[in-house]
Amino acid sequence: MTADADIIAGLRDAGLSGEGDIVLEPLTGGVSCDVWKVETPTGPIVVKRPLEQLRVAADWHAPVERGQSEVRWLRRARGVDPAIAPEVLAELPGYGFAMRFLPGCPVWKDELTAGRVDADFAAGVGRGIAAVHAATADSAADRDAFPTDAMFRALRVDPFLLHVAQKDTELAPVLTALADDLSARKIALVHGDVSPKNILVSTGGPVFLDAECAVYGDPAFDLAFCTTHLLLKAVWLEDARLGEAASAMVAAYRAGIEWEDADDLLLRAGKLTAALLIARVEGKSPAPYLTDPGHKRIVRDQARALILAPTPIDALVANWKRNLA
């Protein structure tokens, strides 16, 4: 039986297919998974299955069991606020799963690329991330539900931080220490891939997808990861409004911090943002849209300076905006 046949059989077993033929319509799955849309008698659904070999130029493998972690994150997030994650309908063979399709909800990345930058929506992203972190902070049950340190290391720590450290002797001590600190902190449930490409724009606010990297770890990572994407796009599109959106997101997130000292978290997030910025130029997964040598130089130069002289994430974003003005 082929992998696709396994998925179809799983949909039938879960009672999601009705009596007719099942057609898997491929959607853009990014680098880490296959994604299909399936029409069913009760409406369209989305089926997702993780890949063992990621679609990047580098040799990058990751455990397919991360599909289970994503399901657990989506269900836990819906327990915090049903509006911020899609409903999981069934788990399927090969660590795939089916979730409800949300019509009329564009991807935030597409909105930003089209020049539709809404700082209020960005603030909603910050509030949504903070809500999950606040609800899961210092929770033994959530920590036990996500024993996924090895996956997070394979998908985030090694390819983003340590891959650059192996190539850059000047930055290596700082990046290695940052990687160790990130791996050691166990504070709250982390999504691990909060990016505009993984956020839908609904009438009720942001809907978060693609939590394959979920881990019980340092919440500063989620804030840093999304901020990194907004700052990279500010350079790529030469649009200072994206810096303003990042500021709005950081401010809204900070207002929701209730589980630890906000200044400590924002400094950690600033360090991680600087490291992630250079990783999207020099790491295993470079930002595919950042092709202009001048844009790469801007990101590389600012990121190196910020790694060597860390600053809190709110100040980092403010200075990034000024440097683009």
Contact at 8 Å (CB) between 281 and 299? yes
1-9 contacts: CB < 8 A, separation 24 or more?
3/49, 3/94, 6/92, 6/93, 6/94, 7/36, 7/47, 7/49, 7/92, 7/93, 7/94, 7/96, 9/93
Q: Which of 74, 100, 126 is the last residue of a domain?
A: 100
CATH of the domain at 42: 3.30.200.20
**Claim to verify: residue 78 and residue 156 sit in the same structural domain:** no
What's residue 171's pLDDT?
A: 96
**Claim to verify: residue 55 and residue 187 sit in the same structural domain:** no
H/E element holding 266? Answer: helix 262-282
What's residue 67's pLDDT?
A: 63
What's residue 56's pLDDT?
A: 46
**Claim to verify: residue 48 and residue 31 sit in the same structural domain:** yes
Number of independent structural domains in the chain: 2
**Claim to verify: residue 149 and residue 62 sit in the same structural domain:** no
Q: Which of 69, 84, 100 is the last residue of a domain?
A: 100
What's residue 1's pLDDT?
A: 38
**Claim to verify: residue 182 and residue 316 sit in the same structural domain:** yes
**Claim to verify: residue 159 and residue 75 sit in the same structural domain:** no
**Claim to verify: residue 217 and residue 114 sit in the same structural domain:** yes
Q: Which of 33, 66, 100 is the last residue of a domain?
A: 100
What's residue 290's pLDDT?
A: 93
What's residue 158's pLDDT?
A: 93
**Claim to verify: residue 90 and residue 122 sit in the same structural domain:** no
Sign of CA dihedral 154, 158, 161, 163: negative
- Per the structure block, which two tokens stand in for 191? 């999504």
What's residue 51's pLDDT?
A: 64
**Claim to verify: residue 113 and residue 94 sit in the same structural domain:** no
CATH of the domain at 162: 3.90.1200.10
What's residue 36's pLDDT?
A: 80
What's residue 278's pLDDT?
A: 97
Residuewise pLDDT in 10s, the chain (325 residues): 344 677 777 777 766 666 666 777 777 656 567 778 887 777 788 888 776 555 544 555 555 565 688 889 999 999 999 999 999 888 776 667 888 888 899 999 999 999 999 999 999 999 999 999 999 999 999 999 999 999 899 889 999 999 999 999 999 999 999 999 999 999 999 999 999 999 999 999 999 998 989 999 999 999 999 999 999 999 999 999 999 999 999 999 999 999 999 999 999 999 999 999 999 999 888 999 999 999 999 999 999 999 999 999 999 999 996 666 5
**Claim to verify: residue 131 and residue 252 sit in the same structural domain:** yes
**Claim to verify: residue 174 and residue 268 sit in the same structural domain:** yes
What's residue 254's pLDDT?
A: 98
**Claim to verify: residue 214 and residue 280 sit in the same structural domain:** yes
Residue range of the domain that includes 44: 3-100
Contact at 8 Å (CB) between 162 and 179? yes
